[in-house]
Homo-oligomer: A and B are copies of this chain.
Amino acid sequence: MYTAGRTAELTGVPRETLRKWEQRYGVVQPTRSEGNYRLYDDEAVRRLAAMRDLVDSGWSPRDAARHVLDEPATATVAGLEAPGGSPHEELDELAAAGEDFDVVRVEDLLDKAFAEADLATTVDEWLLPSLVRLGEAWQRGAVSVAGEHFVSAAVVRRISHAFQQLPHAPAGAPRVMVGLVRGSRHELGVLAFALVMRSRGMDVAYLGADLPVEAWVDTARTLQPAAVVLSAPTVEDLPAVREAAQAIAPHAPVFLGGAQQHRVDGAEPLGHRIGEAAAELAARLGDGG
């Protein structure tokens, strides 16, 4: 349950507007605390965010509200849409190897994939889809928590390995800061992004997960990077990401990945194809603008 202020942060809709939307259209009916404070649940946040998206894209608030109310309540699943209805019967190779805890097979699969010529394509076409299918398999109980952890750990190791093997950026290469804000821990995406960036000759400073805003600002001021790349994987990350983006903006251009990337002002969204986005950004910076 979230208070009014927090809900405003999460959805990007001002408190007052939130109240008006409730009074005028009844998009949400928050319960009340003892002290008569509004308490919004996850479903309310989802609806408000959906309505905000519609309004932003030109719908009239009244229509947007009607549309949101007509939609059945959806259980949000980490920002990922359910696949087009085809229940994958056979397990992904990677997931199967993970469920057997077969170190050799998992690492062989990853080795083979990373031997491909184009890193960006490998990441977008094979690695990330495989991980999405792994997540789906885990959700429907086809893969255990431990199996999922086992594969994820192997993937992170493999990306780190690839990152390490790449030659260092030449002197004078554009510098890019990559990492996650405080509270955020989904390293896989940013790590893959950092990998592709380095493969394109960028000077990547990878700062890891859970870094406070002040640290981002101080470092950006010191390093004067050509770009700062963050990720907004979940709604919960939004307040911290917004705060960071705003604070960093005066010192360096901010780019954003992750499912919630379009919900942050002042940061340029990079899209959802990590490898492609990294390659593009690298080309742009390498060309001097």
Q: Which of A's residues lie within 8 Å of B, judged by CB? A: 1-3, 6, 9, 33, 57-60, 62-63, 66, 77-78, 101, 103-104, 107, 144-146, 149-150, 152-154, 156-158, 160-161, 163-165, 168-169, 179, 182-183, 185, 203-208, 210-212, 214-216, 218-219, 222-223, 239-240
Contacts and interface: CB of A to CB of B under 8 A. Distances in A.
A168 B215 contact: no
A18 B177 CA distance: 38
Given A1-B63, A160-B160, 15 more contacts: A6-B58, A57-B240, A58-B239, A77-B183, A103-B169, A103-B205, A145-B214, A146-B216, A146-B218, A150-B205, A150-B206, A150-B207, A157-B163, A158-B160, A160-B161
A166 to B, nearest CB: 10
B207 A149 contact: yes
For the complex formed by this chain, how many copies does it contain in all? 2
Given A150-B207, A161-B161, A210-B77, A104 B57 contact: no
Given A103-B203, A164-B158, A206-B153, A144 B63 contact: no
Contacts of A145: 211-212, 214-215
Contacts of A214: 145
A64 B154 CA distance: 33
Contact of A182 (B3, B57, B154, B157): B57
Nearest to A101: B205
Given A107-B164, A149-B179, A157-B160, A144 B9 contact: no
Most buried by B among A1, A145, A153: A153
A146 B215 contact: yes
A241 B77 CA distance: 17
Contacts of A164: 107, 157-158, 160-161
A146 B60 contact: no
A85 B49 CA distance: 42
Contacts of A60: 3, 6
A63 B103 contact: no
A58 B207 CA distance: 22
A164 to B, nearest CB: 4
A215 B149 contact: yes
A78 B210 contact: yes
